[in-house]
Amino acid sequence: MSFSTHAISQLESALNQVCNIYFPANISEIENTKDAAISFRQSLASLHQHTFNLEVKIDSEETKLSSLVPELQKHFTDNEKSRQKQFDKNEEF
Protein backbone atom coordinates (compact mmCIF):
# COMPACT_ATOMS: atom_id res chain seq x y z
CA MET A 1 0.00 0.00 0.00
CA SER A 2 2.79 2.40 0.90
CA PHE A 3 4.62 1.79 -2.38
CA SER A 4 1.56 2.65 -4.48
CA THR A 5 0.91 5.78 -2.42
CA HIS A 6 4.49 6.89 -2.94
CA ALA A 7 4.27 6.17 -6.68
CA ILE A 8 1.06 8.18 -7.01
CA SER A 9 2.65 11.05 -5.09
CA GLN A 10 5.64 10.99 -7.46
CA LEU A 11 3.37 10.98 -10.52
CA GLU A 12 1.38 13.94 -9.19
CA SER A 13 4.63 15.82 -8.61
CA ALA A 14 5.78 15.02 -12.16
CA LEU A 15 2.46 16.23 -13.59
CA ASN A 16 2.95 19.56 -11.82
CA GLN A 17 6.35 19.90 -13.46
CA VAL A 18 5.18 18.95 -16.96
CA CYS A 19 3.25 22.19 -17.28
CA ASN A 20 6.58 24.07 -16.96
CA ILE A 21 8.07 22.38 -20.02
CA TYR A 22 7.97 24.56 -23.13
CA PHE A 23 6.43 22.99 -26.22
CA PRO A 24 6.32 25.21 -29.32
CA ALA A 25 2.82 25.46 -30.68
CA ASN A 26 3.64 26.41 -34.27
CA ILE A 27 6.45 26.91 -36.80
CA SER A 28 6.81 30.58 -35.86
CA GLU A 29 7.63 29.68 -32.26
CA ILE A 30 10.16 27.10 -33.46
CA GLU A 31 11.82 29.76 -35.64
CA ASN A 32 11.86 32.22 -32.74
CA THR A 33 13.49 29.61 -30.52
CA LYS A 34 16.05 28.88 -33.23
CA ASP A 35 16.81 32.60 -33.63
CA ALA A 36 17.17 33.00 -29.87
CA ALA A 37 19.58 30.06 -29.75
CA ILE A 38 21.67 31.52 -32.57
CA SER A 39 21.73 34.92 -30.89
CA PHE A 40 22.75 33.31 -27.61
CA ARG A 41 25.61 31.45 -29.33
CA GLN A 42 26.80 34.68 -30.95
CA SER A 43 26.70 36.44 -27.59
CA LEU A 44 28.75 33.64 -26.05
CA ALA A 45 31.29 33.85 -28.87
CA SER A 46 31.55 37.61 -28.41
CA LEU A 47 31.96 37.20 -24.66
CA HIS A 48 34.62 34.54 -25.22
CA GLN A 49 36.54 36.87 -27.55
CA HIS A 50 36.25 39.74 -25.07
CA THR A 51 37.52 37.48 -22.27
CA PHE A 52 40.46 36.39 -24.43
CA ASN A 53 41.32 40.03 -25.18
CA LEU A 54 41.21 40.84 -21.47
CA GLU A 55 43.52 37.92 -20.73
CA VAL A 56 46.00 39.22 -23.30
CA LYS A 57 45.86 42.72 -21.78
CA ILE A 58 46.29 41.33 -18.27
CA ASP A 59 49.31 39.32 -19.38
CA SER A 60 50.78 42.44 -20.98
CA GLU A 61 50.24 44.50 -17.84
CA GLU A 62 51.70 41.73 -15.72
CA THR A 63 54.82 41.75 -17.88
CA LYS A 64 55.11 45.53 -17.51
CA LEU A 65 54.75 45.26 -13.75
CA SER A 66 57.31 42.48 -13.60
CA SER A 67 59.83 44.74 -15.33
CA LEU A 68 58.95 47.72 -13.13
CA VAL A 69 59.46 45.97 -9.81
CA PRO A 70 63.23 45.50 -10.16
CA GLU A 71 63.55 49.09 -11.36
CA LEU A 72 61.62 50.38 -8.34
CA GLN A 73 63.71 48.20 -6.04
CA LYS A 74 66.88 49.64 -7.57
CA HIS A 75 65.62 53.21 -7.09
CA PHE A 76 64.68 52.44 -3.51
CA THR A 77 68.08 50.88 -2.80
CA ASP A 78 69.91 53.79 -4.45
CA ASN A 79 67.88 56.32 -2.48
CA GLU A 80 68.45 54.39 0.74
CA LYS A 81 72.21 54.35 0.11
CA SER A 82 72.13 58.07 -0.62
CA ARG A 83 70.23 58.79 2.61
CA GLN A 84 72.60 56.58 4.55
CA LYS A 85 75.61 58.42 3.12
CA GLN A 86 74.01 61.76 3.95
CA PHE A 87 73.22 60.57 7.47
CA ASP A 88 76.78 59.28 7.95
CA LYS A 89 78.18 62.55 6.64
CA ASN A 90 76.03 64.54 9.10
CA GLU A 91 77.11 62.24 11.94
CA GLU A 92 80.76 63.07 11.32
CA PHE A 93 80.18 66.76 12.05
pLDDT tens digits, residue range 21-75?
Answer: 878 889 999 999 999 999 999 999 999 999 999 999 999 999 999 999 999 999 9
pLDDT tens digits, residue range 57-69?
Answer: 999 999 999 999 9
Verdict on whether the full-model pTM lies above 0.75: no
Domain that holds residue 15: 2-92
Task: Name the band, by pLDDT with cuts 50, 70 and 90, for residue 93.
Answer: low
The answer for residues whose C-beta is within 8 angstroms of residue 33's C-beta and 6 or more apart is 24
Say how many domains are in the chain. 1
